[in-house]
Amino acid sequence: MTALDIASAVAAGERSARSVVEEHLDRIADRERDICAFNHVMADEARAAAEGIDAAVARGDEVGPLAGVPVAVKDSLCTRGTPTTCSSRILEGWHPPYDATVVERLRAADAIIIGKTNLDEFCMGSSTEHSAFGPTRNPHDLTRVPGGSSGGSAAAVAAGFAPLALGSDTGGSVRQPAALCGVVGMKPTYGAVSRYGLIAFASSLDQIGPMAVSVADAAALYEVIAGLDPLDSTSLDPAVSGPTGRRCCDGVGEQERAAGVEGLRIGVVAELCGTGGPGSEAGVKGLAADVLARVDEAVSALETAGAVVEPVSVPSARLGLSAYYLIAPAEASSNLARYDGVRFGLRVAGDTTAEMNTNTRTAGFGAEVKRRIMLGTYALSAGYYDAFYGKALRVRTLMRRELAAAYERFDLLVCPTAPTTAFELGAKTADPLTMYFNDVCTVPSNLAGHPAISIPFGAGEDGLPVGVQLLGPTLAEVPAGRSALWRAAVVLEQSAADLTGAGPGR
Amino acid sequence: MAERITRDEVRHVAGLARLRFTEAELDELTGQLAAVLDHAADVAALDVTDDVTDVAPTAHPPALTDVTRSDEIRPSLDRDEVLAQAPVRQDGQFRVPSILGEAP
């Protein structure tokens, strides 16, 4: 059942929220031991919330647009009174004294938070193997990673633990695990969703995004979480993020199928859609041929549906990964300075405060987090600032310019989400740079602050899911469910279902 | 193009970042950071003095505007709830080891 099906059945009194919760808790009891999607399952809280919703329905009260829908929430998002760890030892046992704005919005929409999901520590990674509490496994194949950093959220949706999940995306952390787990994942425009209560990694890149079994469900969750928030000074005006307070995205799938992509201009990003092999000027090193084949089929599907598709060059996409791996660690090194053993989380004693700080951070952070802090501190340090951080910020300018030029000719762009299908656990942990290459197709949207969505589109030669990525300009995701970005996503979802014989949101 | 990062620089940066590494960790880290920085050579080599003089840095997606609010008394986080999360507290405050007489 999709989230929208559950919400309408619960609102109509045809199903109790309590039975929905029990059904999902049963699935968690069956498979969570193998998958490890959650850091913390909130069974009691979920049952209590469900009973509250059922009582409201029984009284005839109006209920929210996600009434009774279980949502898995990434453990980088603060939940008041419930442990929030960011999968780090340094925050183990911390109970935030406030809710993230998105969590408040979920509760206001009568959604049911069913648990906090595992991630790469502080969202730094592409496989969820860098969690201090052990890796999450891909529900499609337990020997493979789910992607990351929102791997727990992606796995929870793919395993049927919850039809909806929230992730956060700094360089692809919603879209890449969505692709590897065969679910829909969307990164909103920077500022469209409040970051208040999202534990900061790289503040100029971080966005919270929806993950779901269907495009319509993702749009519904987006509409619930988007909008202006006085507690995040970078959040955008609600006038651009659609009206709230009505039942969101009713029948959105039908409307979108009718509107389709007829006449839309869609550009295929040359730099991200080639294998970069001999004789090929443009391309991504390590981009798998089977992934590329699915992208080609997706492009054909869009053409068949009436879109005008042409190649487009975004030369700075070649520099995007390098720029990202200077900017994100630089911002992280500053943001993570707050973990000093003084106000919350772990403290390891020392004779002086400086020693206590060092002891705490050395014991509390994992290897990848330390690596990024080191990289960022170095990139910002005297003598290297201009050569590395300063240059990376100029790449960001080039990318914004080139993308702006592309969007004068095209409504949307298309490319793979991840270079390969899900890889085996341990395959890329020995060499950090190899792991970083996972993000090559996703970082451009973060650097530009643009929205992007990954839609499952068939499988690779190993039978594992492939994701196709649609990119749009600022606020291309508004209005939720109805703009070109969503319409094209629905066309791809339907085409994928036609090709494989499976329906969306099975 | 900057010189390749050295082990001594890594040790220095670790001090700045309030992190401590074993000698073996320092060796491994130096190689790993060098590999990432080598990959970033194309960014570092970007010629901003000649062909792209008009390329200003972008530190943030655009539309960063000043946000103001009226100066009104509002409830803030509960002090006891916040302090309950502190590793060591005393008299309604965070307690830390001595900070006087430390090297800067």
Q: For B53-86, how does the pLDDT look when each residue is reduced to its tens digit (9 = 90+)? A: 678 888 888 656 777 888 999 999 999 999 999 9
Asked if A231 is an interface residue toward chain B (Cβ–Cβ < 8 A), one would say: no
Active site residue A149: yes
> A167 is written with which tokens?
């992730």
Over range A334-360, report the average pLDDT: 96
Q: Rounded mean pLDDT of chain A?
A: 93
Q: Shortest Cα distance from A197 to chain B (angstroms)?
A: 13
Chain A contact set for B67 (CB, 8 A): 230, 233
pLDDT of A504 over the 70 cut: no
* Closest-CA distance of chain A to residue B3, Å: 10
- Looking at residue B64, its pLDDT comes to 63
Question: What chain B residue is nearest to A319 in terms of C-alpha separation?
Answer: B43
A240 touches chain B (CB under 8 A): no
- What is the mean predicted confidence (pLDDT) over A424-448? 95
Give the span between the Cα atoms of A19 and A15, in whole angstroms.
Answer: 7
Average pLDDT over residues A402-414: 97
Note if A153 is an active site residue.
no
Residue A287 and residue A416 in contact, taking contact as beta carbons nearer than 8 Å: yes
State both tokens at A311. 């190649």
Q: What is the pLDDT of residues A230-283, one digit of tens each?
A: 899 898 875 544 433 333 344 455 665 667 899 999 999 999 998 665 555 567
| φ/ψ of residue B13, rounded to 5 | -65, -35
The answer to whether B98 faces chain A, any CB pair under 8 Å, is yes
Query: Which tokens go with A429?
Result: 């942990």
Backbone dihedral angles phi then psi of residue A252, each to the nearest 5 degrees: -60, -35
Residues in chain A: 506
**Of A257, A189, A246, whose CA–CA distance to A494 is shortest?**
A257
A226-230, A244-248, A408-412: range with lowest mean pLDDT: A244-248
Report yes or no: A352 at the B interface, CB cutoff 8 Å.
yes
**How distant, in Å, are the alpha carbons of A345, A412, B84 from that of A309?**
51, 10, 58
pTM of the full predicted structure?
A: 0.94
Among the options A8, A16, A74, A316, which is catalytic? A74
The long-range contacts involving A135-140, CB below 8 angstroms and separated by at least 24 positions, are A135/A36, A135/A425, A136/A35, A136/A36, A136/A37, A137/A34, A137/A35, A137/A36, A137/A425, A138/A180, A138/A181, A138/A422, A138/A464, A139/A31, A139/A35, A139/A181, A140/A181, A140/A182, A140/A422, A140/A463, A140/A464, A140/A465
CA-wise closest residue to A295 among A466, A502, A503: A466
- pLDDT at residue A321 greater than cutoff 50: yes
Listed by number, the residues of chain A in 427-456 with a beta carbon closer than 8 Å to a beta carbon of chain B are 431-433, 436, 448-449
Helix axes A215-225, A101-108, angle to 10 degrees: 110
Distance CA A223, CA A195 (A): 15
Residue-wise pLDDT tens digits, A63-121? 999 999 999 999 999 999 999 999 999 999 899 999 999 999 999 999 999 999 999 99
Q: Would you call A116 a catalytic residue per the annotation? A: no
Higher pLDDT, B104 or A382: A382
Q: Is B61 on the interface with A (CB under 8 A)?
A: yes
Query: What is the per-residue pLDDT for A93?
Result: 86
Closest residue in B to A379 (Cα) is: B37
- Percent helix, strand and coil across chain B, each rounded to 5? 35, 5, 60
The nearest CA of chain A is from the CA of B85 a distance in Å of 5
3 state SS of B52: coil
Of B21, B37, B61, Cβ closest to residue A190: B61
Any alpha helices (H) in A86-164, and if so which ranges?
101-108, 151-158
Choose, out of B43, B54, B80, the residue to mutate when testing the contact with A (most A CBs < 10 Å): B43
pLDDT of residue A77: 98
Which tokens belong to A316?
Answer: 């700075």
Strand pairing class (A70-74; A265-269): unpaired
